Amino acid sequence: MNELFVTKNEDNIVIAVKEKGKLVEVVVEDFNKVSLIGNIYKAKIQHLSSGIQAAFLDIGEKKKALLPLNTPDGRIKFELISDIDEEVHQEMIIKAGDEILVQVVRDEINEKGAKLTSFISIAGNFLVLLPNVHFVGVSKQIRDRDFKSSIKSMLYSTIEPNVGVIVRTAALDATHAIIKREYFELLKIWKRISANIDKSISPTLLYKETTVSKKLIRDLMKKGIEHIYVDSKEIYHDILEYFSYIGINMKKKVHLFQFKIPILAYYEIDRELEKMFKPEVYLKGGASIVIETTEALTAIDVNSGKISRSRDNDSLIKDINIMAAEEIARQLRLRDIGGIIVIDFIDMSDELSKKELLSQLKKHLKNDRSTTKTLKVSQFGLVEMTRKKIGPSVIHYFINKCDCCDGRGYTPKPFYIGLKFVRWLKENGKNYSDDTLIVNAQENVVNSIRKNLMRYIETVMKENRMNVKIQVSDSIKNGICEIYSVNKVERVATVN
């Protein structure tokens, strides 16, 4: 069973995805930082840098945006060969002073400006429209040959000569009529953009992505989503309106969450998040994987641990490696690990076992909406692969790097400490009936609890006939929440 969980807080929206009961993806959209991804601009090329093979463009933001080049002389090649069943190749040459159409594919990160592409795409729920190229591609995750054949035939007879489309996985749930209708809606958007290109002076925003909740649901929706749980009435109605617009009846699958503790705690997503902050991930039977990310690459080590070696060693090692491959694929999605990844599996001498291991790894990676490339298992049991990062690290929305150990540890962020406190209160509140609990924390934690979590705390107070006072204490360490009982005249818990 596949499920989506959506929670709205004062500063962000958090969407979590579970597949077969396991958390596989978490997306956070920060209200304080507006994402530019998907926006289309008319922009002027300021200069070309042959050293890093990139062009810098002014899109109207403080930092100049970067457009990667394939050659120092301004040549850009576009190849779309990994995610769909068709190969698409395009090429253009640019120079300083040119005004071109560009689209943001990555937001600003630290000192780096936004990353651009000059090959425009407009995403819908079922299709992605690509102007200036004529083709119909189908997501490789769609394996139904009859569906692929019929959808391609329909779209080739529908699309204009200078337009291409990619059929997304969600199209499996839609009729041809609905897909055709979306094509014309996307085409209408592109024609509006085209009509304004010559009229506009660089830099100009020509197209802005849809609302946060609609964009996230659109990108995360795929065949097999059985339930969507939402704790905000605004987003709940926004999602229903979106599904109604695209012609899919999802009303019975979208639920307004109204329980007494936060949605992330009720479905134990907060416990999974806490595991995500640690490098070691434990597997069944005592085996584990260790994930270490550096500036250059991410290294993943597979350990057999205390698993019994009573069976044949080769068979045991293969089973551990295959079990680890499934969990590694999940962790790459969950932590959104990008760049070069080196996996150190336990050494296997049998070539058939190596092939089976690689096949299993690739099978589980197919569930990832990001692009991955995987090389063969080496004679030392190493697998080298790459993965395209989807967005900023989700981990940084919940924790801060520890100042004391130069980033090797972490301290929870205010909202996450508050979430852990509410869970503790729900589990232990019955022990403090007719009591008053004094909760001491730093000012940022107190403010976060008051903004986002008081309705849940008040519910627990009524259930247990108790009182909870939350107050600022400058003597409390960062990332800690201390709880005192007035009746017992002692500290009863520390949440960190």
Confidence of residue 77 (pLDDT cuts 50, 70, 90): low
| Confidence at residue 241, expressed as pLDDT on a 0 to 100 scale | 81
Name, of 4-18, 95-109, 458-472, the range with top average pLDDT. Answer: 458-472
User: Could you tell me which residue, 418 or 82, shows the higher pLDDT?
Assistant: 418
| Confidence at residue 290, expressed as pLDDT on a 0 to 100 scale | 93
Superfamily of domain 39-78+91-117: Nucleic acid-binding proteins (2.40.50.140)
| Confidence at residue 357, expressed as pLDDT on a 0 to 100 scale | 92
Q: pLDDT digits over 333-353, tens only?
A: 999 998 899 999 988 888 898
CATH number of the structural domain 2-31+211-270: 3.30.420
Q: Please tell me the pTM assigned to this model.
A: 0.73
| Confidence at residue 211, expressed as pLDDT on a 0 to 100 scale | 64
Compute the mean pLDDT over every residue in the chain, rounded to the nearest whole number: 85
User: Could you tell me which residue, 289 or 170, shows the higher pLDDT?
Assistant: 289
| Confidence at residue 94, expressed as pLDDT on a 0 to 100 scale | 79
| Confidence at residue 379, expressed as pLDDT on a 0 to 100 scale | 75
Name the residue type at position 128: V
pLDDT of residue 98 exceeding 90, the answer is no
Confidence of residue 374 (pLDDT cuts 50, 70, 90): very high
The architecture of the domain spanning 122-207 is 2-Layer Sandwich (3.30)
User: Could you tell me which residue, 68 or 313, shows the higher pLDDT?
Assistant: 68
User: Could you tell me which residue, 396 or 144, shows the higher pLDDT?
Assistant: 144
Q: pLDDT digits over 194-251, tens only?
A: 999 988 898 999 998 776 666 667 766 665 678 899 998 888 888 888 777 766 677 7
| Confidence at residue 408, expressed as pLDDT on a 0 to 100 scale | 56
pLDDT of residue 6 exceeding 70, the answer is yes
| Confidence at residue 86, expressed as pLDDT on a 0 to 100 scale | 62
278-398 folds as Aminopeptidase (3.40.630)
pLDDT > 90: what percent of the chain? 33
Secondary structure of the chain as H, E, C letters: CEEEEEEECCCEEEEEEEECCEEEEEEEEECCCCCCCCCEEEEEEEEEECCCCEEEEECCCCCCEEEECCCCCCEEEEEECCCECCCEEEEEECCCCCEEEEEEEECCECCECCEEECCCCEECCCEEEEECCCCEEEECCCCCHHHHHHHHHHHHCCCCCCEEEEECHHHHHCCHHHHHHHHHHHHHHHHHHHHHHCCCCCCEEEECCCCHHHHHHHHHCCCCEEEEEECCHHHHHHHHHHHHHHCCCCHHHEEECCCCCCHHHHCCHHHHHHHHCCCEEECHHHCEEEEEECCCCEEEEEECCCCCCCCCHHHHHHHHHHHHHHHHHHHHHHHCCCEEEEEECCCCCCHHHHHHHHHHHHHHHCCCCCCEEECCCCCCCEEEEEECCCCCCHHHHCEEECCCCCCCCEEECHHHHHHHHHHHHHHHHHHHCCCEEEEEECHHHHHHHHHHCHHHHHHHHHHHCCEEEEEECCCCCCCCEEEEECCCCEEEEEEC
pLDDT of residue 188 exceeding 70, the answer is yes
Residue 440 — left, alpha, or beta (φ > 0 → left; ψ -120 to 50 → alpha)? beta
| Confidence at residue 81, expressed as pLDDT on a 0 to 100 scale | 44
| Confidence at residue 317, expressed as pLDDT on a 0 to 100 scale | 87
| Confidence at residue 82, expressed as pLDDT on a 0 to 100 scale | 47
Confidence of residue 73 (pLDDT cuts 50, 70, 90): low
pLDDT of residue 134 exceeding 80, the answer is yes
User: Could you tell me which residue, 454 or 85, shows the higher pLDDT?
Assistant: 454
pLDDT of residue 358 exceeding 50, the answer is yes
Least confident of 6-10, 86-90, 106-110, 146-150: 86-90
Class of 414-495 in CATH: alpha beta
User: Could you tell me which residue, 394 or 297, shows the higher pLDDT?
Assistant: 297
| Confidence at residue 143, expressed as pLDDT on a 0 to 100 scale | 81
pLDDT of residue 83 exceeding 90, the answer is no
- Tell me what the mean pLDDT of segment 13-35 comes to: 84
pLDDT of residue 312 exceeding 60, the answer is no
Confidence of residue 321 (pLDDT cuts 50, 70, 90): very high
- Tell me what the mean pLDDT of segment 97-121 comes to: 86
User: Could you tell me which residue, 359 or 111, shows the higher pLDDT?
Assistant: 359
| Confidence at residue 402, expressed as pLDDT on a 0 to 100 scale | 65
| Sequence spans of domains, the chain | 2-31+211-270, 39-78+91-117, 122-207, 278-398, 414-495
pLDDT > 70: what percent of the chain? 89
